[in-house]
A and B are shown apart, each in its own frame.
Chain A
Amino acid sequence: KDDVIAAASAARARRSGRVGLATASRSTSDPHPAEMATHELHPNDTLTTLKMESENLKAKLEEERAKLHDVELHQVAEKIEALGQFVMKTRRTLKGHGNKVLCMDWCKDKRRIVSSSQDGKVIVWDAFTTNKEHAVTMPCTWVMACAYAPSGCAVACGGLDNKCSVYPLSLDKNENLAAKKKSVAMHTNYLSACSFTNSDMQILTSSGDGTCALWDVESGQLLQSFHGHGADVLCLDLAPSETGNTFVSGGCDKKANVWDMRSGQCIQSFETHESDINSVRYYPSGDAFASGSDDATCRLYDLRADREVAIYSKESIIFGASSVDFSLSGRLLFGGYNDYTINVWDVLKGNRVSILFGHENRVSTLRVSPDGTAFCSGSWDHTLRIWA
């Protein structure tokens, strides 16, 4: 027995020795940035010194950003041809919701659409024929978020129930979709937005609880959470798959944050809007994103320049922008507004090229179709419109 104890303590000594060596080598080589930061923060740091450092760092950040601000986007774009007149009309009107349409998403097949409403209903439409293919009644009202799965075989939705649920779509029209419902995400406040990642297996959510989260659909397990917004997160958008594992979120704290999906780290943050950010959407190349806000402006932020590079606004536009999306080339930015209109902006030159009337209440959601041939808008007037 003594031999065993001796052997055990010898093993412990060897293990701790090895650990000691490992720590020593870690501190002499290049440490992980997060570790380095904590390494430099002394226990004596007071709130005051940290506040001072925070102010200094913020000032330095602005200084660095300003140094590279050598020109405006619209100045660079002066030499290119102006866009001509646009003829865009409502080509289809989807009627069937009993109350405000809050969210919609396109299926990858470029013809199906899922939409959700304040009346608790989630409807799947064939946009070509305007036929309703599926309808689900949620257990809550205000279904603020819905998304189509990449396979086209399921939809996700949620809202005041604080959850995101996935419904597999059945070919059998008589089948009760609600029976196969799978609860995936659980937040502690309303679900504001959801999106599948590039497969049916994972869902990204944003919530009134101030966080975003990545979930495994099959198990409902939380894979990663994203903390950093100081208030409700209202929107999110995934980077185009070629650009890697990041997404952008916008919130009531007026900030737009870019996140690393694997580490949960906020990698860039932008705070130039003067009110809630209702919508964020990546530019097709993935190098920039646009935002729409209650401050009645849309803005473009370039990720490599790390700053806002354009503001899309007019004195006559005084109502908030609720939803934005780009045309396929990124040249046009469509914005749905609370004054019932859709404004179309020349992204490069910064001017408005068209204003579309038709909805009889706020435009709450807007998405360009996957092949860019049309875009769909949803409104508090209970309808969705397809424009082309």
Chain B
Amino acid sequence: MSGSSNLVAMKKIVQQLRFEAKINRVKVSQAAADLQQFCLQNAQQDPLLTGVSSSTNPFRPQKVCSFL
């Protein structure tokens, strides 16, 4: 009984590996260049990266406002 369930499990593993073997891959140099480009393109819109000033970041302490 356990023999046949091992066989079934093993067949599933082999099927999965065959599936994974077929995927198309790109070179790391290409993938890395794309990751870098995304970072650089979006850098200005990243408040934690650019350190947004107090006036625009709701969490940073604000200067006291006075009623005119």
Q: Which residues of A contact B (CB under 8 A)?
A: 33-34, 37-38, 41, 45-47, 50-51, 53-54, 57-58, 60-61, 64-65, 68-73, 76-77, 80, 83, 86-88, 91-92, 110-111, 127-128, 228, 265-269, 283-285, 287-288, 302, 304-307, 309, 327-332, 347-348, 368, 371-375, 386, 388
Contact = CB atoms under 8 A, between A and B. Distances in A.
Contact of B48 (A68, A128, A375): A375
Nearest to B13: A54
Given A58-B17, A288-B35, A331 B46 contact: yes
B48 A285 contact: no
Given A47-B10, A91-B60, A386-B59, A57 B28 contact: no
Given A50-B14, A373-B48, A287 B35 contact: yes
B23 A267 contact: yes
Given A306-B23, A309-B32, A61 B17 contact: yes
A206 to B, nearest CB: 19
Contacts of A332: 46, 48-49
Contact of A33 (B10, B22, B28, B56): B22
Nearest to B39: A331
Given A33-B22, A37-B19, A288-B35, A71 B59 contact: no
Given A51-B10, A69-B28, 14 more contacts: A54-B13, A57-B21, A64-B25, A73-B32, A76-B32, A76-B36, A284-B38, A285-B34, A287-B31, A302-B31, A330-B39, A373-B48, A374-B59, A388-B57
A388 B60 contact: yes
Scoring A111, A127, A285 by chain B CB atoms within 10 A of each residue's CB, the highest score goes to A285
A68 B28 contact: yes
B50 to A, nearest CB: 9
Given A50-B10, A51-B10, A331 B49 contact: yes
Contacts of B34: 285, 287, 304
B48 A327 contact: yes
B42 to A, nearest CB: 4
Contacts of B68: none
Interface of B: 3, 6-7, 10-11, 13-23, 25-36, 38-43, 45-49, 51-52, 56-61
Nearest to A266: B16
B33 to A, nearest CB: 6
6 contacts: A33-B22, A45-B7, A68-B27, A70-B29, A267-B19, A305-B28
A283 B35 contact: yes
Contacts of A86: 51
B25 A329 contact: no
B36 A61 contact: no
The 9 closest A-B pairs by CB, nearest first: A329-B42, A329-B46, A57-B17, A305-B31, A76-B32, A388-B59, A91-B59, A50-B10, A328-B46
Contacts of A327: 46, 48-49
B43 A54 contact: no
A48 to B, nearest CB: 10
B36 to A, nearest CB: 6
B14 to A, nearest CB: 5
Contact of A265 (B19, B30, B46): B19
B21 A64 contact: yes
A7 B22 CA distance: 49
A330 B43 CA distance: 8
A76 B34 CA distance: 10
Nearest to A374: B59
B68 to A, nearest CB: 24
Contacts of A269: 16, 20
B31 A304 contact: yes
A287 B39 CA distance: 12
